[in-house]
Structure 1
Amino acid sequence: MPVILDITISLDGFVTAPNAGPDNGLGDDGLALHAWAIGNRTPEDLRLLAAGTAATGAVVMGRNTFDVVDGPNGWSDERHYGADQGDAAAPPPCFVVTHTAPEHVRLTDRMTIVTTGLRDAIDQARAAAGERPVVIMGGGSVGGQALRKGLADRVQLHVAPLILGAGTPLFDGPRVQLRLDEAATVVTRNAAHLCYDVVR
């Protein structure tokens, strides 16, 4: 099954606003990036969110994202992967790419810490996902690595109609050049939902 990089991004290429951190996950005034998922959502936004959540077999995330979702104000039984889908779907297993294991993991039932690199995290996620896709959900560093290393089969960008000017970039680090084929495009007032298959 495919590995999907699924991430929300501003028009100028940032996945968070400035000053993002464990207690300020999307940065200063960055919540508007995710209006399609947790704001004043349209029926089409909700349909895409529900379909993506239901299809996910396992999730890969970076340490910064983990520090937010596993923190005291992070995911809970009511709000987890898929925003506030609640009981609509059980949270998928998550694999956290980090150089150093955290001292404490709150969500021990759904988080696996991987200190041996992104490729190993994806391999473990594939084994857990069965016949469903693996989704790389964040953050910018892990997403950028997946693109540079050719580990993503599909790219799903939720492009928010915002220009942030600064923050956490997705397209950072060494140059990457990919050919993408459009698979689907849906535009709502909150985001342009762009789905591309990576051409090998």
Structure 2
Amino acid sequence: MSKLRVNAFTLSLDGHGAGPGQTLEHPLGVGGENLHKWMVGTRTFRTMVLGQDGGTTDTNETFAARSFENVGAWILGRNMFGPIRGEWPDDKWKGWWGDNPPYHVPVFVLTHHKRAPITMEGGTTFHFITDGIHSALEQARSAAGDKDVRVGGGVDTIRQYLQEKLIDEMHLAVAPVLLGRGENLFAGLDMLKLGYRCTEQVATTLATHVTIGRA
């Protein structure tokens, strides 16, 4: 059965999924790039995001590769698509990733402002959803068919789906980094009461990989 998944979502030791002050120059917030050292050297990241050969084939690669398996659609918060706030000023901004984004399936972007779909190279089409997380999930599941839907973030989007008990499985990579401030994933959430438990834990020098599923 199709799942709603979070994969390869990195947190700091103090629970932040992004640093403070997210801007065009600092898309992950100040210091946020330090969270992702576990991933950027993997073969999957180099292939899927950079279009390059090489990369590690270690435990970090195992989790990076797993994150793309059986994914038929994605859901993103608007900040994950771009730094623009309010009404779309024009159609020039088409995401952080260039002409060929690393998704290669339909992507449903949560926003309060209408925008026509954008068809990119490699099979990615961005759809902009203005009527909430449930509508986005329904459309993503329809597009995914028998495959899973992956919630790519950011923090607020994942929190909304957790609060509704809609996420079936969540892989977090906890980096040995303190950010001090930023967006905290678990602030105010009672994960036990929501019905989740830890199902897997694997440590590397760059991250501790934790999988959370339904109890």
Q: TM-score, normalised by structure 2?
A: 0.77
What does 1:73-152 align with in structure 2 at a 5 Å threshold? Answer: 74-76=96-98, 80-81=102-103, 91-102=104-115, 105=118, 107=120, 109-152=124-167
- Structure 1 residue 54 corresponds to structure 2 residue 69: yes
Q: Give, in angstroms, the shift of residue 73 of structure 1.
A: 7.3
SS at match of 1:125: helix
The alpha-carbon distance between structure 1 residues 17 and 129, as it changes in their structure 2 partners (threshold 3 A), is same
Could you say which structure has the larger radius of gyration?
A: 2
Residue of structure 2 in register with 1:198 after alignment: 214
Identical counterparts, % of pairs? 32
Does the 8 Å CA contact 1:20/1:167 hold for their aligned counterparts? Answer: no
Cα distance change of structure 1 residues 106 and 172 upon mapping to structure 2, 3 Å threshold: farther
Structure 2 CA distance for partners of 1:187 and 1:175, relative to 1, 3 Å: closer
Change (3 A) 1:166 1:102: farther
CA distance in 2, matches of 1:126, 1:106: 19
SS in 1 for 2:181: coil
Contact 2:71-2:150 within 8 A present in 1 as well? yes
Paired residue for 1:169, among 176, 179, 184? Answer: 184
Q: Which consecutive residues of structure 2, in runs of 5 or more, have no partner in the other structure?
A: 43-55, 84-91
Name the CA shift for 1:105/1:169 in 2 (closer, same or farther; >3 Å). Answer: farther
TM-score scaled by length of structure 1: 0.82
The one-letter amino acid paired with 1:190 is: L
RMSD: 2.8
Deviation at 1:106, TM superposition (A): 7.6
User: For 1:71 and 1:29, how far apart are their aligned partners in 2?
Assistant: 24
In structure 1, C-alpha distance between the alignment counterparts of 2:69 and 2:97, rounded to whole Å = 17
* Structure 1 unmatched ranges of 5 or more: 82-90
1:65 equivalenced with 2:80 (yes/no): yes
Separation of aligned partners in 1, 2:178 and 2:23: 20
Does structure 2 retain, via aligned residues, the 8 Å contact 1:42–1:188? no
Indicate conservation of the 8 Å contact 1:36/1:191, yes or no: yes
Q: Which residue of 2 aligns with 1:38?
A: 40
Match of 2:175 in 1: 160
